[in-house]
Every structure is written in structure tokens, then in C-alpha cells.
Structure 1
């Protein structure tokens, strides 16, 4: 009898690991199928959700264009809307996996706070970008000058503003620097004053020169004849009388008018024999027939 008990106990010892493996196998087969289906459904949800988010973003962008929403606002808001829509999809996927969505959101908020503290400059640029969109010191397409940089605004993004210079350069400026420093915007007004400074000789007739230059402004097609035109003496320089020639042209015609008026001024002055002097030095030599007595000459 004792021998049978020993045999049974030996069988139990040998079969115990196999029973444990069978139990683990059953768990893997049952729970693994559930986990695998959850992962597959979560990936499908993520893929479909991102596709829907992209479609919604494009629909919102088209609606903005149809309602003539300013390009600056569109380029600033569309990336934010895209990020928000994708975050909503990620939260839904986390919920689909059976995880605690509130905990995920809290962790996401904590991570955002830590990143924000590490990137305080970027947050100030983001805040400045929002203020630029709200107060509109400039918009996409405006010609601006700030901190020695000038050009046409190409885009206003979350952190930076991109301008395109007349030399073909692309300059990226942080929004905070732009908003916290003076900005000269040449595109807000329809017309812009064009300044031409020209020098004539002291021996030339000012009234004649004034009449010639006024005729140049009257005949030029880009000069707005309804606004004031000025031709006056600006200063008395070392070798010339500098004249201030002022008129108003449309912003869109500024550089065309600039080159054309300078060229016409040169031609008009040449045709009327009015010289444009350049810096020079005059040497005056006085002669006297009677030679003065020199101190070393003997006297009678």
C-alpha cells in the first residue's frame, strides 16, 4: 500500500509542471487572443482616426478659404487644429486598449509642463504668435522691417515668422523678438512716400532746377497726382546744394517708380545743363606782380 502511495506521489511530482504549462497555455490562448484583437483594433482605430483627422483638417481649411479668412490666421490655426484632432484620436485609442484615459491625460499634461519649463523661449514665441494673429501688426504678404531685417512675410507659424528678402534670401525670425521690438510695416497703407535726394551745383539756378524736377514728377505715370509733391532745398552740403524730391506712389509700384524716377531725374538735369556735383577740392592761387621784400634781401 505504501508502495502505491509512493508511485502516486511520484506521478504527481512529474505531472505538476505539465499541468502548470497547460494552465499557462490556456491563459495565453484565451487572453492572448483578446490582447491581440485589442492591439489590432487599436491600430485600426489609430489609422482610421488619423485619416479622419486629416480629412477634417482639409475640410476646415477649405471652409476658411471659402469664407476669406486671412492667410495669416489660416497658416497659424491649421497646424494647431491638426495637433488637437490627432490628440483626440490618441486618447480614444488609449481608451480602446482598456487603459485609464484620465491617467494618460494627466501624464501627458505633466510631460507637457516639463517640456514647457525646459522650452520657455519656445512658449514665449508661441504666445507672441497668438498675439500677432490677434493684434495683426503685420500679415502674410506685408513688407516689413524689424531689427535690421526686411522683406515680404511668407508665413506666420507657431513659433517663427518667415520673410523673403528682395535678394532672394529667406529669414526666419522668432515671434517673440518680432512682437517685442519695433516693426515698420510698409504695406498697411495703400500709398508710400518716395524720397529722392539729389544735389545741384552752387552755381546752378535753383528755381530752374525746381521746375525741371516738378515736371518729372508730373509726367511720371506712377506718381499719385492727388497727393502732395515736394521739391525743396534739403541742405547746403560741402560741394552741392542738396534738394529733397518727395512724392507718393502705390506700394505695389514702389520699386518700379523708384528706379524710373531716379533715371528720369538724371536725364532731365542733363538736358537742362544742370550739373550734379561730386565731392572735390578747389585750389586758389593768388598772384602779385610786386614781389614783397624778403627778410634776407639787402636794403639800400
Structure 2
């Protein structure tokens, strides 16, 4: 019994001596690994601030800027962790950690694929020069001013002050018309005049009114005027001209002003803008003295 106890005690002492020797042997590597992690931590802080300032010059959204800064910090800390594990000769642990991270990342990616798609789409939209906050755009049936682009959605404010929130993925996968990319817009105006009107006079009068109403139109020759059809109650035309505008609201105001001035000019010159008229014509002549009609009334 005493010999067995001494043997167990000896084994324990050997184990403790082995652990002690291993600890003493790995102390320099451990200290170096700690220094690597500390350096990675402070490097991530300064890198995050630097990238934040760099991104803020290209992106106005705070949410996007903060997200990119945090991602850069996490990447640097992760690199520091892998280097520290390598310094401590924990290659197997590093391999297991990478394999586990891959499995977890795959599971998270499958579970949050919609959210991740919107996140990456938000990052892409934030770096697009042709889509900026304050632009007037039209997409997926909605038109309005861009008031926010974040990691989840794309927010528009329509002309009636309604807020429309659209997923970033939808914006990225569908056509988008940006009215703010150009300082000029073409106004289309359709109208009709009576068949009795002098068509040449109508054309010249309309061009003159447009040229005198808008400073951007230098002369009447810059106004396009085309008769399009013989309508049911009028001869219809299409008038087109360019204005300086960056939003649909300015375009609508210009069209409204043009309609008002053209109506005033037509009224002054006696030019008729007819509304649809339906004429009923009876070719069969009925007479109350007809024998058949008198017989019908007498039977009733």
C-alpha cells in the first residue's frame, strides 16, 4: 500500500514538474502572444478611426461609416488572434477555430441571407456616385427625394410627403431613374384645339407663349410643336420644350405655368379648346299623327 502511494505521488510530482517546465518554456511565447493581441487591439482602434474619416469623404450616412469602421476593427483583431495562436504553437487549435468559424458563418449566412443581401446592397449603394441623399429618383413605381440610405433599406419622401421604405436589394435589382443627375428636363404638353381654328396661328402662338414664359427657352424656334391626330372633337398636338430643373416637382410646376399661360392666350385670341361632345342623330322621323302610333296610344 505504501509503495503504491509513493508511486502515485511520484507520478503526480512528475506531472507537475512537466507542466511547470512547459509553462516556463512557453512563458516567452505567451508574453509575445499577449503583446501581439494588445498591438492588434490598439491598431484596430486607430485603423477604425482612419477608415471612418476616409469613408466619410465618400459616404454621408453615419450608419454605413460606422459599420465599415467596425468591420475593419474586427478583421484586425481576428488577424491578431490568429497570429497569437500561431506564436504559441497552437496550430491545431487555430485549424479547429477556422473550421468552426466556417461552419458557423455558413449557418448564419443561410439563416440571414435576406438581411445580408440588404446589408451588402446598402454598402454598394452608399458608394455609388449616381445615387446620393437629396436626389430625386424614381424606382419600382415610387418617385421622391432620397432621404436615407442605410444597411437595411432605402428611404424616399414622395411629393405628397409620404415616406416610402424600400429594401436595398430591391433597389439594386431594379432600374432607377435619377432626375438629379442632369440640370435640364424636357416638358411634354398635350392639348387640342377646335376644328375651326387656324392651325398655323395656334402653333406660332403656343411657341411664343412658351418662349415668353420661360427664361430658359431662348426663342420660339426652340419649342417643338407637332400636330398628332384628328381627335373626336379636336385637333390634338404635342408641345415639347427644355427647362432647368432637377426634380419632378419643378417639372410639374413648369408644366402648370405653361398650361395657365397658354389658356390665357387662347382665350384672348378666341381659340377654342373643346371638350368631348357626343351628338345624337335620329334619321327616322316620328310623327304623333302616325296611325300606328295613335293605335298604340289608344290600346294603352
Query: Please, what TM-score do these two structures have when normalized by structure 1?
Result: 0.63
8 Å contact kept, 2:59–2:65 = no
Quote how far apart the aligned CAs of 1:175 are: 2.2
CA pair 85-222 structure 1, distance change in 2 beyond 3 A? farther
Structure 2: which 5+ residue stretches go unaligned? 1-37, 85-92, 293-300
Contact 1:146 1:181 (C-alpha < 8 Å) held by counterparts: yes
Matches within 5 A, 1:122-161: 122-133=115-126, 136=129, 138-161=131-154
1:263 is aligned, of 260, 270, 279, to 260
Q: Secondary structure at the match of 1:260?
A: helix
Q: Residues 223 and 247 of structure 1 are in contact (CA less than 8 Å); yes or no, is this contact kept in structure 2?
A: no
Distance 1:205 1:199 in 2: 12
C-alpha deviations, 1:168-211, integer Å up to 9, x for none?
11111122222222222222222110111111111111111111
Paired residues of 1:160 and 1:174 also in contact (CA < 8 A)? yes
> What are the Cα deviations for residues 66-105 of structure 1, in whole angstroms up to 9, with x where unaligned?
xx53547x76444322454367679989x9xxxx899777
Q: RMSD of the TM alignment (CA)?
A: 4.1
Q: Structure 1 201/124 Cα, relative in aligned 2: closer, same or farther at 3 Å?
A: same
Q: Displacement of 1:125 after TM fit?
A: 2.7
Assess, with a 3 A threshold, how the Cα gap between structure 1 residues 58 and 134 changes in structure 2: closer, same or farther.
Answer: closer
User: How many equivalent pairs are there?
Assistant: 242
- In structure 2, relative to structure 1, the CA distance for the partners of 1:92 and 1:70 (3 Å cut) is closer
Cα offset, 1:285, TM superposition: 6.5
Please give the per-residue CA displacement for 1:6-53, whole angstroms capped at 9, x wherever unaligned: xxxxxxxxxxxxxxxxxxxxxxxxxxxxxxxxxxxxxxx9xxx89x96
Question: Could you say what secondary structure the match of 1:244 adopts?
Answer: strand
Name the CA distance, whole Å, in 2 between partners of 1:250 and 1:205.
32
Matched, 1:81 2:69: yes
Structure 2 residue 174 is matched with structure 1 residue 177: no
Equivalent residue in structure 2 for 1:254, among 237, 251, 257: 251
Question: C-alpha separation between the residues in 2 aligned to 1:242 and 1:64?
Answer: 54
Are 2:52 and 2:65, in contact at CA under 8 Å, matched by a contact in 1? no
Alpha-carbon distance in structure 2 between the residues aligned to 1:148 and 1:88: 43
Tell whether 2:233 aligns with 1:242: no
Q: If the length of structure 2 is used for normalisation, what is the TM-score?
A: 0.63
**Shift, 1:273, TM fit:** 1.0
Report deviation, 1:254: 2.4
Query: 2: distance between equivalents of 1:182 and 1:139?
Result: 16
Identify the match of residue 273 of structure 2 among 269, 273, 276.
276
Distance in structure 1 (CA, Å) of the matches to 2:55 and 2:174: 30
Q: Is 1:187 aligned to 2:176, yes or no?
A: no
Cα offset, 1:261, TM superposition: 1.3
More divergent stretch after superposition (128-137 vs 163-172): 128-137
Query: Residues of 2 paired with 1:257 and 1:118: CA distance?
Result: 50
